[in-house]
Amino acid sequence: MSYQESLAQWQAAKLPDYLAENLTSYTPEQQEDAFYQNLSFGTAGMRGILGAGTNRMNIFTVRQVTEALARYIDAQGETAKKRGVAISFDSRHFSPEFAKDAARVLSAHDIKSYLFSSLRPTPELSFTVRELDAFAGIMITASHNPKEYNGYKVYGEDGGQMVPEAVETIVTELEKISDIFNITLDLDDKNIQIIDQELDDKYLENIATITVDKELVANEGKSLKFVYTPLHGTGQYIGEKALQQAGFTNYSIVKEQAVIDGDFPTVKKPNPEDAAALEMAINYAQNNGADVVVATDPDADRMGAAVKLADGTFQVLTGNQIAAVLVNYLLTAKKNTNTLPKNGAIVTSVVSSRFASKVADSFGVITADVLTGFKYIAATIDEYEATKEHTFLFGFEESFGYLVKPFSHDKDAIQALVLFAEVSAYYKSQGKTFADGLQELFEKFGYFEEKTISLDFPGIHGNDEMAAIIAKFRDNQPSKIGDLNVIRTQDFSTATETTADGETAKLPQPKANVLKYWLEDGSWVAVRPSGTEPKLKFYIGVESSSQAISQSKIDIITSDLMTYTK
C-alpha cells in the first residue's frame, strides 16, 4: 500500500479530535514520513514520534501491536491466556491511555491483564512478570528519548525483552492486520486486575538484598551526602523508598525534576547518558556540599552519575566506568567473604568496554559477550541457571544499563542506584571519593576510554543511507583504522571472525547487523544500526598508560571513521 493510500484511510477514519487536528496540520513532507511505513518493531519493541499515522505512536498503532500480541498468546492456548500479561507505563504523554487500551485489547481475547494504576519503572514491570508468572509483559515507554516520543516494549515470560523467535511471530500477525480502526476493545475491563502496593512491596523486598555490607551502610548511609534526580520520571517513588530502606537518608532530590511531566521541561533530553541532563543536579550538589550525583531516566532502567573531583568540579562518569567500579566492589566483597564462586561470570554487550572485563579477570571471573539488547543478557542468565555452567554475578551495557541480581531480567536503575550509593559510602569510609576509586582502577588496569558516535538518519531514505555506510565497511574491509592495523574483523551478520592473515572462525552470538574491528594495540571499533531508532552508531574503545594517550587514540580513530559517512 502506498503512503497516499494509507493517508486516505486515516483521513476517512473517525479519529479523536487531537489526532484529526494533528493529521490536518501535516505538510506534504510530514505526511509522507508519517505514512510511508508501519512503525517498525525492533530490538525491544517499537518506538516513535507521537502523532497521527502508521509510522507514529498513537492509540491505533498501540491497539494494532497489542492485537498481534493477543493473537500470538491465543495460539499458545488457555494456560497462556490465564497466566496473562503484566502492564506498566512511564510519565510520557498518552502512556496511561496506551496501557489501558492494551489491557482492553487483551481482555477482548479473554486474556488476563495485571495493570498498574499509575506509573512504575521498567525493571519493576520485568520483576512483576516473573513474580506473577505472567506469560508476557508490556511496558509503555520510550526510555530516554525526547518528549516527542513514546514506545511499546514487549517482555517474555522470563521477564526479559521478548526473544527474536516470538517477535517474528508477532510481526507476522501484525502484518495481517489491515484495519487498525476497528480492533475490538473490552470496555467492561472484565479481565483486568489492578496491581500496585503488593508488587511494590515485593520488588522492594528484593531490592533490599542488593546491599552488600549492611554494617557499612548503617555507619555511613546517614552521612553520605548526595543528590538524586529522577528526570521527571518513574524513579522517584520507588527509588526513594529503595534508598531509605537501605539506610541512605542524607540525600537531596532535585525538586524541579521530581515533577512528573512528559514535557521534561528542565532538560532537552531526559537521558543520563547526556551530561547536559545532569547539570541541574550538579548545581544542586555544588550548592549543598554533596559529593555524588545520581540520575535515573524516565522509565528508571538506566542510571547515570557524576562525582566530585579534588578541585570541587564534577566529572560525569561513563556507563563503562560505573560498571568497572561496581564490579570491582562486588567481587572484592565476595572474595573477602569467601563467597566468590569458581565459575563466576559477568555478562556484557559486544560494544561495551573491556575495562570491567579486565577487572573481573583479575578475580578469575569470565566475561560473556552478547549482542546489544538486555534480552541477550537475560537469556544468558537463564542459560546459566539451567546448565549451572556459570554463576551470574553482574550484567551491564555501556548505555548505562546494569543488573546486579536477576530478580529483574532487564537493566535496573533502582538496583544500580542503591549499589552506587553503597560504593560511594565505602570510599567515604576510607577517606576517599568514588573518583578516587576509579583512578585506582585506572592505575591498576590501564586508562580505558570509550566513545559512542550516534548519527541520525530520519525519514523515508534513512534506512538506505545507513545501509550504504555499513556497505562501505563490508565492501572495503579496512586493514587500518586511524594509524592502527586491524588484526581481527568480526562480522556478526555472518557470525564470522576473520584474522588479518585470513584465518576464520565462527562467532557464538546470533546473527546481527554488527561489525567489530580489533586493532593491534587492543583498541576496538564497532558499527551497528540502532534496533529502535533511525540511528547509526560507532563505538570506540581504547586503553593505554595515560588518559591523554587514550584520548589521542580516540580522536585519531574518530577522524578516520567519519570518512566512511561522506
Helix (H, G, I), strand (E, B) or coil at 211: coil
**Phi, psi angles (nearest 5°) of residue 488:** -145, 140
What's the count of helices (H) and strands (E) in the chain, helices before strands? 19, 23
- Can you spell out the DSSP letters for 49-68? EBSSSTTSBSHHHHHHHHHH
**Phi, psi angles (nearest 5°) of residue 247:** 115, 10
At position 296, the amino acid (one-letter code) is T
Helix (H, G, I), strand (E, B) or coil at 293: strand
377 closest CA partner among 509, 541, 288: 509
> What distance lies between CA 481 and its chain's CA centroid?
29
Q: Which residues contact 260 (CB under 8 A, 6 or more apart)?
A: 91, 119, 232, 233
Residue 161, sorted as left (phi over 0), alpha (psi -120 to 50) or beta, turns out to be beta
Q: Which residues of 57-74 are buried (b: 16+ CB within 10 A; e: fewer)?
A: bbbbbbbbbbbbbbbbbe
Query: How many residues can be counted in the chain?
Result: 566
**CB 339, CB 269: distance < 8 Å:** no
Helix (H, G, I), strand (E, B) or coil at 189: coil
**DSSP letter, residue 22:** H
Q: How do strand 149-155 and strand 136-140 relate by DSSP bridges?
A: antiparallel
Among all chains, which residue has been given the C-alpha cell 592502527?
484
Residue 492 CB coordination number (10 Å): 21
- Rounded CA-CA distance 447/263 in Å is 39
**Phi, psi angles (nearest 5°) of residue 365:** -105, 130
11 closest CA partner among 1, 310, 390, 26: 26
- Rounded CA-CA distance 452/537 in Å is 7
Distances from the Cα of 463 to the Cα of 353, 466, 480, 528, 536, angstroms: 27, 5, 27, 12, 9
Query: Crossing angle for the helix pair 235-246 and 197-207, nearest 10 degrees?
Result: 50
Q: How do strand 113-116 and strand 192-195 relate by DSSP bridges?
A: parallel
| Torsion sign over Cα 452, 318, 119, 82 | positive
| Torsion sign over Cα 229, 233, 239, 244 | positive
Distances from the Cα of 123 to the Cα of 72, 137, 280, 353, 453, angstroms: 24, 11, 25, 23, 27
Determine whether 429 is an active site residue. no
Of the residues 91, 143, 353, 424, only one is catalytic, namely 143
Bridge-partner residues for 140, per DSSP?
A: 89, 152
Active site residues: 143
